[in-house]
Amino acid sequence: MPSISRDAPPAVMRAAAQWLAGQLAFADGRVVETGGHPVVRGEWLHADGAPTILVYGHYDVQPTGDLAEWQTPPFELTVDGDVIRGRGATDDKGPVYIVLKTAQAFMAQEGGLPLNVKFLFEGEEEIGSPQLPAFVTRHAGELAADLVISADGAMWRPGEPSLSLASKGLVTMDITVHGASTDLHSGRYGGTVANPLHALSEVLASLHHPDGTVAVDGFYAGIPGLTAERRQQIAAIGFDEADYLSGLGLDPASRCCWPALRARCLPPRCSSECSGSRRCSSRSRRPTRSCTLRTSSSASAGCGRGCGRGSSCGGCSPPGRTASAQPMPRLAASASASGNAARPS
């Protein structure tokens, strides 16, 4: 089902939710209304004396993008050897499907589950979960559990399952640098009036030291250092650096956070999510350059998707230079920060 939460018709999202609720028939699966796309809930609470866990996931997916870039239709599940291809195969329909089929197998073979299990699957994760915080607050007592497990995440590698013990929170900040009130010809003004792009580049470059650590004063305050035991645990994880880099299309000589800088994958990180984008639609608007920064707010007990797959480890980017943002003529910078709403994870 093309359950793209951003723009799918409500009937499509409801059909996806109803299918999911049907798979949870053994746990009184049901569709629960919200102010947006519905939530699917269920619970099986017949394991007397056993702990209760809450399993979170989502049935919505990202837009497909350019269909010409797909080898097969995005919403037609295709099995290609050991690979299953389709939108949501890994985020998050595949992982949710594993939860469903594992629970169903226990019910069929054992007659019940070894734990008390509650299920909470939303349909708006890919658009920021706008309804989930209020929904969880209203139903806090019903959703109470000894442990929350998120079925939305990556494995360490295909042949080795993993479980992340914690996740880092995020704080985002938008930085906009304003320049002259009109477009300026480089032949007449180049070198005399500062370019907002150059100013923004210096701001971004000043965030890190050459070794990749964050240069912002106080950024690591309150974060405990890695213990010797934790370092040994990390060092014991097998990792083929050459294979990892080649799989990303990078030269084996490229800089990688593992194993030389593996300890850096655990503390908070700071990264820019977007490159500068110029906005100057008319002569009356000032040219600007803007970007979004993401910083993690707490240390994690495990790298999770970070070093295992390389998609979010700051140490796997090219080394940057350190520069301080010096005052520039006719420039003004403004920034606003906002935190992400909490949700089960």
Confidence band, pLDDT 50/70/90 cuts, at residue 248: confident
User: For the residues 198-226, what does the mean pLDDT come to?
Assistant: 89
Task: Name the pairing type of β-strands 288-296 and 52-58.
Answer: unpaired
H or E stretch at 234: helix 228-235
CB 32 within 8 A of CB 41: yes
User: For the residues 51-63, what does the mean pLDDT come to?
Assistant: 98
Q: Interior CA angle at 191 toward 278 and 205, to 5°?
A: 55
Cα gap 195→184, rounded to integer Å = 10
76-120: pLDDT as tens digits: 999 999 888 999 999 999 999 999 999 999 999 999 999 999 999
pLDDT given at position 274: 43
Strand partners, 78: 85
Q: Interior CA angle at 145 toward 142 and 146, to 5°?
A: 165
178: closest CA among 329, 324, 326? 329
CB 272 within 8 A of CB 144: no
Q: Average per-residue pLDDT in the chain?
A: 78
Domains and CATH numbers, the chain: 10-150 (3.40.630.10), 170-339 (3.30.70.360)
What the block records as the tokens of 50 is 């056993």
pLDDT given at position 292: 58
Against a cut of 0.85, is the pTM above it?
A: no
Confidence band, pLDDT 50/70/90 cuts, at residue 171: confident
User: For the residues 3-31, what does the mean pLDDT come to?
Assistant: 98
User: For the residues 288-313, what does the mean pLDDT come to?
Assistant: 40
**The most confident of 198-202, 238-242, 280-284, by mean pLDDT:** 198-202
pLDDT given at position 235: 83
Residue that is written with structure tokens 């790298």 in the block: 303
* Total residues belonging to the chain: 345
Pick the more confident residue, 49 or 181.
49
Does the structure show a pLDDT above 50 at 294?
Answer: yes
DSSP for 128-172 reads T-SSHHHHHHHTHHHH--SEEEES-S--SBTTB----S----EEE
